Structure 1
Amino acid sequence: MSFFGKNIKKIRGVKGLSQQAFADLFNLKRGTLGAYEEGRSEPKIETIIMIANYFSISIDHMLTAELTVNQLLRFNDELTISPDDLEREKFACVPCITPNNASEYLQYRENDQFIEDMPQLSLPINLEKEFIAYTVDSLEMTSRDEGLFPKDIVISERVPTAVIPKLNAGTMVLAITADQFILRRMYITGKKLILRADHKKIEDVTLELTQIKELWRARYVFYRRLPEIANDISSKMNALQQQMEELRKLTS
């Protein structure tokens, strides 16, 4: 694998270009550029030549070694350093499953180009692990008006097949089969996976482990509304303040 991806990412940082702005310069898709930078695919030679010529960098330098900022500045005096953009490059781009693309994901989930073209969330999470975002579309994970509601987004980490039996009982997972997405708590009995909703009136789903195409462990949640816990804290603070006022009156 060449150093092309790392080098164009470095060029973007020094030049102060977003992925979209850089991609637009060379008529590329942002997802395609992201795949180059992450080493998931290699560009055509025509693309390499076009980018190398544009920034006055030799193809040899682009492909065989990781360029330094000082080297880039020597190659092209017009390049400028933008520390803020360099910092943002540490954010991970997470593909997001939405109601609009869910059915297509089931069909094309192994197609790298489809994954690259999905809507992406930019998040400050572990760059070395694989994540996916899922838009909640039901009330299955609610209980007594708490939990996950439609349009909340769950960020989940891929679980290798060998690790699935080691997950703790009750772990919230996104299980993907050949024809459905199931966001529930997971319990394992033998070679079967029991997926249980938080909503008490929803029946369990039992699957063979072999039916699971992908399993993702829930790690983070974006709520469409403020969680109820915020109201609980506010109420407790108000109650505490009232008690302190009463104590002051008694001691004055």
Structure 2
Amino acid sequence: MSKIGYNIKKLRNVKNLSQQAFAELFSLTRGNISSYEEQRAEPKLESVIKIANYFSIPLEHLLTKQLSVNEILNFNDYFKEESQKKLQKNFTNIPFISREAIHHIKEGTFDMQRLELITFPMYSSNKFIALEFTHEIAAPASMNMPEYTILFFEQVQIDTLHTLNNQYGMFLTSNEIFIGTYNQNQSTINLKLNEWKSEDFNTENLQSFWKLYAKFEKKI
């Protein structure tokens, strides 16, 4: 039996699509998607091809492999397989905040320990987190990030506070998330979204502050 049912469910979860929303993308019904995920039926080949093309996933992988978050985000296409094997020891498993996880934050049910992991080359012992950017996240207009861009944030460290001024950062708790700009004024630092929203930095809430480290933007 193919892996298509498992992979459709995985795609939906990572992209935060309901069965109905996923079905409408490919001229199917919600019942169709339910039957595929429960392995009571399999889609016609023409539908599988449409799904593979839409998400830029090799057809063979969609049918025969249990897709990882990396593959769904197309990271595995970005790095050549041979190079990936050589560099594997330098790759880091990074917690990934998907669109589904963003909804958990807004509902107050977010748990960082339960996040899925993605693998990416990060040559640092510091703590990182990845985020799929969406306009559901409050962010400065100056960022001008396209949807589906993957942002990598590094947790703020006491010894690097002097590097924060005018840099983009993220404030993250179990029930709140926003992206802003760090402002440093003598001995105070805050992360500012706009004139009405900002968070002051202190050692007690250190773990909630992150600095933008890198971005991965898929070229279509």
**TM-score of the pair, normalised by structure 2:** 0.48
